[in-house]
């Protein structure tokens, strides 16, 4: 473990973000939350990010810094952050984003007061370059209070996943397996929403950076750290395997839920060949 036991740990995965790090790090320094650590993990950047991080964080005991000896990919770096911290609550923060000064304190208080909540999100604002941040209504979701309906809504509705950068109840990640897939954040969010709803703060903001141009490294390469090609089929399998861990009831209901998930994903991603196997031996062999 890199980070000792604290109430809240914020994990920041970094890869070649030198132009944006100062604002993000300064927003963490300005937080009013007590009993918090910031785990900044550089994924072997080549643009001077690591040097800037070390300089900017010097003297602030809240920051714990780590650098990988090679690029392990965004998925493994995301997992590394939560695996190497011990805290009741956790948050991933984008290295090119930033947050309002009271967000962490208000998030912790909300999770303390509301045991049925799994995620607390800042009001989502977007910006490009130096543009004025604007509110993103498309990043705000209203989910059902009923677990199964809320879970299926998440599979169907999640497109803008800014709520991935919420403060989460670590216990809600119980049983979560991290995989190198397209849509990793979707599966993690659905898993979290199985255990509880999301709450949006009224007066604290998550500022998310968007980019006008196409980023130099394609999506699959960012996730894996190499040239592996990721397919949507892997996402479907990931969803089904995670659902099997979450649902502990009747096997027939599980199969029905799996078919619903497959149907939703097939419609969303135009995967017409997807179907649940009818082979009885296949279903009986599943744990």
* Residue 191 CA neighbour count, 13 Å, CB half: 27
Confidence of residue 261 (pLDDT cuts 50, 70, 90): very high
User: How does pLDDT run across 263-277, given as a tens digit for each residue?
Assistant: 999 998 887 555 554
Q: What pLDDT does 117 receive?
A: 97
CATH architecture of structural domain 6-224: Alpha-Beta Complex (3.90)
Predicted TM-score (pTM) of the model is 0.90
Q: In sequence order, what are the residues at sequence separation of 6 or more whose Cβ sits closer than 8 angstroms to the Cβ of residue 241?
A: 177
Adjacent-strand bridge partners of 127:
209
**Both tokens assigned to 283:** 């279903």
Rounded distance, CA 248 to CA 256, Å?
13
More confident residue, 220 or 38: 38
Confidence of residue 284 (pLDDT cuts 50, 70, 90): very low
Domain ranges within the chain, ordered by starting residue: 6-224, 232-285
């Amino acid at each position: 473990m890199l980070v000792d036991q604290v109430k809240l740990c914020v994990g920041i995965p970094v890869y070649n973000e030198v132009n944006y790090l100062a604002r993000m790090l300064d927003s963490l320094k300005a937080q009013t939350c007590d009993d918090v650590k910031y785990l900044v993990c550089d994924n072997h950047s080549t643009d001077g990010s690591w040097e800037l991080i070390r300089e900017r964080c010097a003297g602030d005991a809240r920051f714990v810094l780590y650098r990988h000896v090679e690029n392990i990919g965004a998925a493994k770096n995301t997992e590394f952050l939560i695996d190497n911290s011990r805290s009741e609550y956790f948050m991933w923060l984008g290295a090119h984003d930033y947050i309002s000064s009271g967000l962490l304190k208000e998030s912790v208080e909300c999770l303390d007061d509301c045991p049925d909540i799994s995620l607390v999100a800042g009001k989502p604002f977007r910006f490009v370059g130096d543009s004025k941040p604007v509110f993103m209504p498309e990043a705000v979701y209203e989910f059902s209070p009923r677990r199964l309906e809320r879970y299926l809504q998440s599979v169907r509705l999640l497109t803008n996943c800014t709520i991935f950068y919420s403060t989460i109840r670590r216990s809600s990640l119980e049983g979560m397996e991290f995989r190198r897939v397209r849509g990793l954040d979707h599966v993690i969010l659905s898993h979290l929403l199985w255990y509880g709803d999301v709450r949006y703060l009224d007066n604290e903001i998550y500022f998310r950076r968007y980019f006008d141009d196409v980023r130099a490294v394609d999506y699959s390469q960012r996730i894996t750290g190499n040239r592996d090609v990721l397919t949507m089929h892997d996402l479907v399998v990931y969803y089904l395997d995670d659902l099997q861990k979450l649902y502990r009831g009747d096997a027939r209901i599980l199969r029905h839920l799996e078919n619903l998930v497959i149907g939703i994903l097939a419609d969303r991603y135009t995967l017409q060949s997807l179907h649940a196997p009818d082979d009885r031996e296949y279903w009986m062999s599943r744990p």
